Amino acid sequence: MLTLNTMSAEDILRPAQELIQVFQRARKSLRMYPANNPVYSRTIEDAFRRSDGFLLEYGDLELKFRQNDILLGDQVVYQSQDKEDNFAFFFFKDGVRELTFRRGLSSMELGEFLRAISFDFERHGEEEDIVTLLWERDFEHIKYVIDENFLLEDEVYENRAVAQAKGESNDEPELKRIYGEIMKEEDVSGQPEVAPVTKADLHALLKELERDSVSKLPKLTAMLFDFFQEADISEYVGTVDLIIDAFEYCIKTGDLRSAVGLLAKASDPPPVAQDVLLMKKELERLLEFASSPEIVGMLGEQLDSGELFETNIFEEYVRRLDKSAVPSFISILGELKTIEARKRIINALVFLGGKDIQALAKGLSDHRWYVVRNIIYIFRQIGDPGVIEFLVKAARHQDVRVRMEVLRALGEFEGQQGVLPALREALDDPEASIRMMAVRALGRMKSAPAKKIILSRINGKGFIDLDFNEKKEYFEVLANWPETETEEFLLRVLRTGSFFKKSKVAELRACAAYSLGLMGCRGALGHLEKLKNAKNRLLSDYSYRAIKRIEYGQQPGH
């Protein structure tokens, strides 16, 4: 962690200010140039070189955002009052309050970050925000803190306050009086009997309840089941109809806790029922209704409004459902407007989809790319090897963002059949970002077959002609195998010389130096010392940084 106490403020603040300016310039450049433009790749490379040097020299960079300021500790490192071009406000307006860049940040990860903050929502006609893009990328060395309260709109607080005030003004005796009038006994002689309750009775209760406070709703739902503990078999259908009506009222009024209470009671019919199996069969209609698109759609609207954020009652509701609810949750996944609502629905599908992978996989045929991407993310969270066959098929999806998520998922299924062939195929994807993501996925596996694929590509025809950033990605993941064989291979590359394609050969040697530095290979120091003053600036720069990294001891030496 970077602190202002380890060295003078000026020593740290000035490089931090310069790095923020680098990020700001990179954002402008990436918005101006297409991804296949050389300026685009050079911008990312320069930003990585500057940030990697900063993190290596000073440690983690922790920034805090205010409306017009960026702070490092308690010192301002950026300030702007400009309404059109304010880098601090760009993050602040979407709820980002802290952003941390940690040591170990790779060029690929920084490139993803820069692409996210450079995305032109207006040009692409999308309504997402920067928080959504950061969350979807699941960064390892870039962390952020979001102001959760920022996600709730002011009118939600106002409506909640009004509802609370109304609830406090009602008294329980009045409700008891209503119950008493409705439930007058028809015959006070003999043994007490359960009074038959009709829809008209329930509607009368609900009408009074609507004028009163929904805080009394739990008592109503409890009474409703008590009414029918000794109901005749002939009354089961009508009884469940009334329960479903009460359940729908609970959802419409936002009383999810009472709705959960009804589901809980329905899952355990009264033991005194005349035919428990028949009662259970009828009560299954309530579960089906609770899982229906109509009800799930209402819940989605309430999640979007922030009404269900304060407690874990929504999660408890989901736990009461079964796999039949999967299609309904998939259907609203593409309709939600807020990131928090999407998170809740995605978590619900992680739970429910694990019970029926086939039903969840049907979401991959959705015409909206972002729905497909979320389904793949859900597969990734479920972690069941049974999802691999669907991931392999989705690896050929036409949208690059979907393919990117597929590779993130496949990289977490090391050793499973079908994964390595899919990643190897992705190395030939027309998009460079996909190819590099496939390389990173292979690197995370750290297996011998994965290493073999990486080395085979490096030694293959045409590798030397790849863009420098793509070549460097291969050498970066090689550092995941800190073995003698790997070191010897890298040293051979480092010593390579040629009269042809000198600049391309120098790029290979720079990549080898970079990888040796990541591995902390002290046996390479002699060779690196000779190259730190090389005429080729790229080679000398990477050799110098490798020496510094090895001597700093960021990774265990060899």
Is 296 a residue whose pLDDT tops 90?
Answer: yes
The reported pLDDT for the residue numbered 153 is: 45
Tell me which amino acid residue 38 is: P
Q: Are 281 and 264 in contact (CB under 8 A)?
A: no
The reported pLDDT for the residue numbered 178 is: 44
Residues of the chain with CATH 1.25.10.10: 460-558
- Specify the higher pLDDT residue, 252 or 233: 252
Confidence band of 206 (pLDDT split at 50, 70, 90): low
Number of alpha carbons in the 13 Å side-chain half-sphere of residue 380:
21
Q: Which fold has domain 170-183+192-384?
A: 1.25.40
Q: What is the DSSP letter of 62?
A: E
Residues of the chain with CATH 1.25.40: 170-183+192-384
> Would you tell me which CATH number, out of the four given (3.40.50.300, 3.40.190.10, 1.25.10.10, 1.10.760.10), belongs to the domain 460-558?
1.25.10.10
pTM of structure: 0.62
Euclidean distance between CA atoms 518 and 385, whole angstroms: 32
Ranges 83-92, 207-216, 226-235, 459-468: which has the least confidence? 207-216
435-469: per-residue pLDDT in tens? Answer: 999 999 999 888 899 999 999 999 998 999 999 99
Ranges 6-10, 266-270, 386-390, 408-412: which has the least confidence? 6-10
Euclidean distance between CA atoms 345 and 333, whole angstroms: 7
The reported pLDDT for the residue numbered 222 is: 63
398-415: per-residue pLDDT in tens? Answer: 999 999 999 989 988 877
Residues 6+ away with beta carbon under 8 Å from 503: 536
Average pLDDT score over residue span 224-240 = 61
Give the pairing of strands 75-79 and 96-101: unpaired
The reported pLDDT for the residue numbered 119 is: 81
